[in-house]
Chains A and B, each alone.
Chain A
Amino acid sequence: MNGGDVTSSSAATSGPPPSLDWRFSQVFGERTAGEEVQEVDIISAIEFDKSGDHLATGDRGGRVVLFERTDTRDHGGSRRDLEQTDYAVRHPEFRYKTEFQSHEPEFDYLKSLEIEEKINKIRWCQPANGALFLLSTNDKTIKYWKVQEKKIKKISEMNIDPSKAESSSSPPQLVANGLPADKAHGYLSNDFSFPPGGIPSLRLPVVVTSQETNLVARCRRVYAHAHDYHINSISNSSDGETFISADDLRVNLWNLEISNQSFNIVDVKPTNMEDLTEVITSAEFHPIHCNMLAYSSSKGSIRLIDMRQSALCDSHTKLFEEPEAPGSRSFFTEIIASISDIKFSKDGRYILSRDYMTLKLWDINMDSGPVASYQVHEHLRPRLCDLYENDSIFDKFECCLSGDGLRVATGSYSNLFRVFGASQGSTEAATLEASKNPMRRQIQTPARPSRSIGSMTRVVRRGSESPGTEANGNAYDFTTKLLHMAWHPTENSIACAAANSLYMYYA
């Protein structure tokens, strides 16, 4: 069950897996009725680590909160046995682990610009020596954090009683390192002779390690001053030593250990800013090949680049674009084509992209068009004008793939999110609400079987049949939007953010 790859599963002849039955698992920071959400508490980033044992969220107040998995972490007995005997009832459960202030609001005096503390993205790095490592970024600055349990240590015995050393009756006042203020440095110099057996009256401080531990988050490195525009993505390379950061016009490559220089690998800034037609919206490294990365643009294209080809990768290796349907062009065409997020599948074969209206799944070996597209917001098409007026049309929804690559998910308005089956022939399409009762708004009409268009037999369009009017007749609430979500890397478990609350579901 562990990260089976998409190719084998989608090529399976035994038909699509059954639809999942989603259940509520947990909520952190649930809003009580009538409680007003503080702006700083709104979650702005969610990320599971590679093992799925940890989850991190970032918020607009610049904080990072870590959660750890509780259900499979029985250190005593054999974990595998427990999993096998108990498998059916087990689903990932998390508990609060720690939190820390990652970013603070800043002011750029040279540009007269306020820099928000809001966490735009979090990415986990390779753990080492039992400590967790992660990267967090706001608009301008990336930080590398180490979170470690430290045993509390107390020093119990010293040569000099600190209380006496303070008092006036004690020997002459001391400066640092035991040099008496009134004596020359030479006092402890090498010609000071110690008896051959040492001085027995001296002792080393005795350190008592208590069983108590506390978690300490320390900022190890700060990668700053490399972005003129707002950072929208960071992504680790599979080589374990580099990562990229992308802003509107550039992608930079960093070494985790070197914070004072980065290499610009993509630069789409035109010489004349008036010629600017397209910006970078998201970028991600290939999960296996350290030389490949993909970035998406506001024009709806995804570019795959191979860093082996040249140092400055302004020319892409592959371009994934869906040809515009003739005659359908309107004022909104370009706005809604903008891709807000891309994600590689775990095996690196597929790229999932989210634009305002749809989710699209691309096979990186097929650049003629997506292998599947899923209608998420088709019912909003008549209301694009309103959405433009209230700026909702610029909302950036994230998307995610399940670890086995069989399903994809993305968020929507009214705290709804949608899960689609991505394997061939699957008709699975669920709409869930981020609440304790996720099925409340489940639309009764099942999604119709896929309707192929053109010659692409594998292209499926699903979900568009969902009625525009919502199940309970209410209009969509554009102020409550579910932008951020993440799928557990190995299990069918989803974490999603509704304002300040983190909801977790399993199936």
Chain B
Amino acid sequence: MAMVDEPLYPIAVLIDELKNDDIQLRLNSIRRLSTIARALGEERTRKELIPFLSENSDDDDEVLLAMAEELGVFIPFVGGIEYAHVLLPPLESLCTVEETCVREKALDSLCKIGSQMRETDLVDSFVPLVKRLAAGEWFAARVSACGIFHVAYQGCTDVLKTELRSTYSLLCQDDMPMVRRAAASNLGKFATTVESTYLIAEIMTMFDDLTKDDQDSVRLLAVEGCAALGKLLEPQDCVARILPVIVNFSQDKSWRVRYMVANQLYELCEAVGPDCTKTDLVPAYVRLLRDNEAEVRIAAAGKVTKFCRLLNPELAIQHILPCVKELSSDSSQHVRSALASVIMGMAPILGKDSTIEHLLPIFLSLLKDEFPDVRLNIISKLDQVNQVIGIDLLSQSLLPAIVELAEDRHWRVRLAIIEYVPLLASQLGIGFFDDKLGALCMQWLQDKVYSIREAAANNLKRLAEEFGPEWAMQHLVPQVLDMVNNPHYLHRMMVLRAISLMAPVMGSEITCSKFLPVVVEASKDRVPNIKFNVAKLLQSLIPIVDQSVVDKTIRQCLVDLSEDPDVDVRYFANQALNSIDGTTAAQS
């Protein structure tokens, strides 16, 4: 056994721990692989460390994942670009493990390295690697192969290119559906590197085969390729080759395929251009909006605004709007919810008059939806409509919807609406808020659920920021301070919480004149929890108020608390006192 000099001891241990029994130590060592490489020097890294790592592919997944990641940035440690090829063997073996996330990370790293390699090295070492993986005995290797063809293909000789294309075509017809799926999902990426002459002749043939695959799971990944391929083809080829496939897919027997089309249609429209969109894709989209399967309608409804943006308003009103009307009373709440989350965005597209005529009734009906998510989604996007038609037309329906959500029996719904109150306030204006929403904001402070009370306190702060301290002084502070006499100690505690949040916004003067007396009074509460929260609050007020106030009022109050019979109260009081002394010391 070699004995190591003391300064090298830590690095020696780091190296030894590459093989420790404890996975955490191995993981740490692998994460610091660059340190180890630098300690060994470039040559020994190439000759010893990398082969050592290649032998290591039976380690735990976590270790392999970290190794795959580290190797992606390892080129500088093996001596630069000309030695990049030595990194391929360990990554190749990582590309064959059965754990998907390890393989994907290894592929990422291979792509990174491959894109930096010199062309000759690419041909000499990267392309053979791709071919080995593609001919792998186990499916995992062949799945991995699909993901790096695009790197290998660039900079290849013509002979090799032909070979790579035919290898890829074999992968598209592999026995294992997993391999065909990988081939389908990487086809678009590969196609971007292939010359346009072969695009039509070969890539499109592979694509056609994949779109006719028996396995649902393969066909639905082929849909994703449509958009990518469409963008590569000349418009007329795209119309001739891709469009029929899309139209077919939009009527596929499998709802999952139609679902994918609904999700992708927007991009597909871009690929085929506006004319075909009008004649072919609008009818396809309308079919999807009226699909039997709710999942498909959800996907389609969620894209309605994006799709309308591609059309002119007349077309949208003529074809899409009737469907939107139907969807607004769809039997599935999730469809309505998906629609509600985007429909407000249609207002700017249709313009003021059409919005009032066509969309407003839909907004209003969705605002009365029985499902809270639908109403919330409408409220969350209020600003988009406000810009077009103003809020007045909605405000009458808005208020009942807000009140109902504010009192919903599910606390998460109440929480969600509280989050939107500042937005509502800014859109609706001070006047509306004073009349209608102010009371609600106070009511939430006394909610049964802590998260709601906490959010309500935070909401007060945001309102104070929105409308300014003066307004808050009139409309929020008195109501909050009233609560300090509430018989329930949790509610009294909420007053302290609200004060601590609002004080920085309200400024020193109001804090001293309004908040501080209340806080000092609260320090005589009979409940210890209130008292130590007073101590904590006072500590947070120190930076806000003048030093004189600290010395006069706060310190005295804390001194009293520090003699409290309760240990926790004493603890927090002393902590606050220490922080006063700390700031004083720092200032002096």
Name A residues whose Cβ lies closer than 8 Å to a Cβ of B: 126-131, 133, 146, 150, 155, 157-161, 164, 171, 174, 176-180, 187-188, 190, 194-199, 201-205, 207, 238-242, 257, 288-291, 307-311
- Say yes or no: A308-B11 contact (C-beta < 8 A), given A176-B25, A204-B48: no
Convert B30-41 into 0s and 1s, putting 1 for each residue whose CB lies closer than 8 angstroms to a CB of A.
001001001111
Identify the closest chain A residue to B96 (Cβ).
A129
Quick one: which of B19, B35, B293 contacts A188, CB cutoff 8 A?
A: B35
A155, B256: Cα distance in complex, Å: 51
Q: Least Cβ distance of B554 to chain A in Å?
A: 39
What is the minimal beta-carbon distance from A449 to any residue of chain B, in angstroms? 40
Q: Which residues of A contact B524 (CB under 8 A)?
A: none
Contact A311 B176 (CB under 8 A): no
In the assembly, what is the distance between CA of A201 and CA of B12, in Å? Answer: 9
Could you list 13 A-B pairs, sorted by A, with CB under 8 Å?
A: A126-B178, A127-B138, A158-B1, A160-B4, A160-B13, A161-B1, A161-B3, A171-B9, A199-B39, A204-B48, A204-B49, A205-B15, A308-B254
A291 with B216, Cβ < 8 A, contacts A129-B97, A201-B2, A204-B48 known: yes
State A239–B177 Cα separation when bound (angstroms): 6
Q: CA–CA, A166 to B317, complex, Å?
A: 80
**In the complex, A289→B218 CA distance in Å?**
12
- B41–A198 contact, CB under 8 A? yes
- Which of B10, B43, B100 is A178 in contact with, Cβ under 8 Å? B10
B295 at the interface (CB under 8 A from A): yes
Q: List B contacts of A241 (CB < 8 A).
A: 177-178, 181, 217
Chain A residues contacting B5 (CB-CB under 8 Å) are 201
- Given A308-B256, A311-B294, answer yes or no on A160-B12 (Cβ-Cβ < 8 Å): yes
Are B15 and A204 touching (Cβ within 8 A)? yes
A309: which of B2, B58, B255 is its contact (CB, 8 Å)?
Answer: B255
Contact of B19 with A205 in the complex, beta carbons under 8 Å? yes
- On whether the beta carbons of A159 and B2 are closer than 8 Å, the reply is yes
B13-36 contact mask (Cβ, 8 Å, vs A): 1 or 0: 111111100001100110010010
| Known interface pairs A177-B17, A201-B5, A202-B8; 17 further A-B residue pairs with C-beta atoms within 8 A, sorted by A's residue number | A129-B96, A133-B98, A150-B58, A159-B16, A174-B9, A188-B11, A188-B32, A194-B41, A198-B40, A238-B215, A239-B177, A239-B178, A239-B217, A241-B217, A290-B177, A308-B216, A309-B255
Q: With both chains docked as a complex, state the minimum distance between the C-beta of A392 and any C-beta of chain B, in angstroms.
A: 42
Please tell me which one of the listed residues A178, A179, A310 contacts residue B255 in the complex, with CB atoms under 8 A apart: A310
B6 interface residue, CB < 8 Å from A?
yes
B215 touches A128 (CB 8 A): no
Identify B43's interface contact among A177, A195, A197, A311, CB under 8 A: A197
Separation in Å of the A103 CB from the closest CB of chain B?
A: 22
Q: Shortest beta-carbon distance, B520 to chain A, in Å?
A: 46
- Note all chain B residues with C-beta closer than 8 A to A288: 214
Given contacts A240-B178, A311-B293, contact A177 B9 (CB under 8 A): no
Name B44's closest neighbour in chain A (CB-CB): A198
Beyond A176-B25, A188-B35, A239-B217, whether A129 also contacts B4 by CB under 8 A is no
A188 touches B10 (CB 8 A): yes
- Nearest-Cβ distance from residue B250 to partner chain A, whole angstroms: 14
Least distance between B330 CB and chain A CB atoms (Å): 15
Q: How far is the CB of B90 from chain A (nearest CB, A)?
A: 14
Pick the 8 closest A-B CB pairs, nearest first: A198-B41, A178-B13, A178-B10, A308-B254, A159-B12, A161-B1, A128-B98, A239-B217
Distance in angstroms between the alpha carbons of A409 and B19 in the assembled complex: 52
Q: A178-B12, A241-B217, A290-B177 are in contact. Are A202 and B4 (CB under 8 A)?
A: yes
Question: B1 contacts A177, CB within 8 Å?
Answer: no
Instruction: Out of B9, B181, B295, name the residue touching A160 (CB < 8 Å).
Output: B9
Smallest CB–CB gap between B361 and chain A, Å?
Answer: 30
Query: Which of chain A's residues have a CB closer than 8 A to the CB of B42?
Result: 198
A130 to B141, CA, bound (A): 13
Task: Give every chain B residue within 8 A of A128 (Cβ-Cβ).
Answer: 98, 138-140
Question: 8 Å CB contacts to A: which residues of B39-93?
Answer: 39-45, 48-49, 52, 55, 58
Contact B28 A240 (CB under 8 A): no
Considering the complex, give the chain B residue whose CB is closest to the CB of A131. Answer: B98
Residue of B nearest to A174 (CB): B13
In this complex, the interface size class of chain B, counting residues with CB under 8 Å from chain A, is 35 or more
Complex CA distance for A400 and B28, rounded to whole angstroms:
51
B409 within 8 A of A: no
Which residues 89-128 in B have Cβ within 8 Å of A in the complex?
96-98, 100
Contact pattern, B 410-452, Cβ under 8 Å of A = 1, otherwise 0: 0000000000000000000000000000000000000000000
Q: Does B318 contact A (CB under 8 A)?
A: no
Closest to B51 in A: A204
Interface residues of B in 252-286 (CB under 8 A from A): 252-257
Q: For A130, what are the chain B residues with a Cβ–Cβ distance below 8 Å?
A: 138
A177 close to B18 (CB less than 8 A):
no
Docked complex Cα distance between A146 and B3 (Å): 41
Query: How far apart are the CA atoms of A308 and B258 in the complex, in Å?
Result: 10
- Chain B residue numbers with a CB within 8 Å of A205 are 15-16, 18-19
A177 contacts B32, CB within 8 Å?
yes
Which residue of B has the minimal Cβ distance to A157? B1
Complex: A157 Cα to B217 Cα, angstroms: 50
Query: Per a CB cutoff under 8 Å, which of A159, A195, A289 touches B15?
Result: A159
The verdict on B292 contacting chain A, using a C-beta distance below 8 Å, is: yes
Q: Which of these, B9, B49, B140, contacts A129 with CB under 8 Å? A: B140
Q: Is the CB–CB distance between B19 and A310 below 8 Å?
A: no
CB distance from A378 to the nearest CB of B (A): 41
Q: Which B residues are CB-close (under 8 A) to A242?
A: 217
**Contact partners of B43 in chain A: CB under 8 A:** 197-198
User: Residue B39 contacts which of A157, A177, A194 (CB distance < 8 angstroms)?
Assistant: A194
Among B29, B32, B39, B181, contact of A202 (Cβ-Cβ < 8 Å): B39
Find A159's partner among B13, B139, B252 (CB 8 Å cutoff): B13
Question: Are A238 and B177 neighbours in the complex by a CB distance under 8 Å?
Answer: yes
Distance (whole angstroms) from the CB of A492 to the closest CB of chain B: 26
* Complex: A202 Cα to B292 Cα, angstroms: 68
Most chain B beta carbons < 10 A, residue from A178, A288, A307: A178
Residues of A within 8 A of B140 (CB): 128-129
CB nearest to B141 among chain A residues = A129
B9 touches A126 (CB 8 A): no
A188 touches B12 (CB 8 A): no
Given A176-B28, A290-B216, answer yes or no on A202-B40 (Cβ-Cβ < 8 Å). Answer: yes
Partner of B14, one of A178, A194, A199: A178
Tell me, rounded to whole Å, the shortest Cβ–Cβ distance linking A244 to chain B: 14
Among A174, A177, A202, A310, which residue has its beta carbon within 8 angstroms of that of B293? Answer: A310
A127 to B15, CA, bound (A): 34
B19 adjacent to A155 (CB under 8 Å): yes
Complex: A24 Cα to B168 Cα, angstroms: 49
Q: Are A203 and B49 within 8 A (Cβ)? A: no
A242 to B295, CA, bound (A): 19
The answer to whether residues A180 and B49 also contact, given A198-B44, A202-B4, A311-B294 and a CB cut-off of 8 A, is no
Report the nearest A residue to B136, measured CB to CB: A129
Asked if B28 and A187 make an inter-chain contact with CB atoms under 8 angstroms apart, the answer reads no
Question: What is the CA–CA distance of A98 and B16 in the complex, to the nearest angstrom?
Answer: 33
Contact indicator A178/B9 (Cβ below 8 Å): yes
List of A residues within 8 angstroms of B52 by Cβ: 204, 207
Task: Give the CA-CA distance A308 to B8 in the complex, in Å.
Answer: 63
Report whether B178 and A178 are in contact in the complex, using a CB–CB cutoff of 8 Å: no
C-alpha gap A238/B52 in the complex (Å): 38
Closest to B52 in A: A204
Q: Tell me, rounded to whole Å, the shortest Cβ–Cβ distance linking B310 to chain A.
A: 28
Interface positions, chain B 353-390, Cβ under 8 Å from A, are: none
Residues in A neighbouring B10, C-beta threshold 8 A: 174, 177-180, 187-188
What's the Cα separation between A290 and B11 when bound, in Å?
Answer: 53
Q: Which residue of A lies closest to B45 (CB)?
A: A198
Q: Are B11 and A207 in contact (CB under 8 A)?
A: no
CA gap between A311 and B214 in the complex, in Å: 19
Minimal beta-carbon separation of B439 from chain A (angstroms) = 39
Chain A nearest CB, measured from B237 CB (Å): 30
What B residues does A238 contact at CB under 8 A?
A: 177, 215
User: Complex Cα distance A187/B9, Å?
Assistant: 11
- Name B139-182 residues within 8 Å CB distance of A: 139-140, 176-178, 181
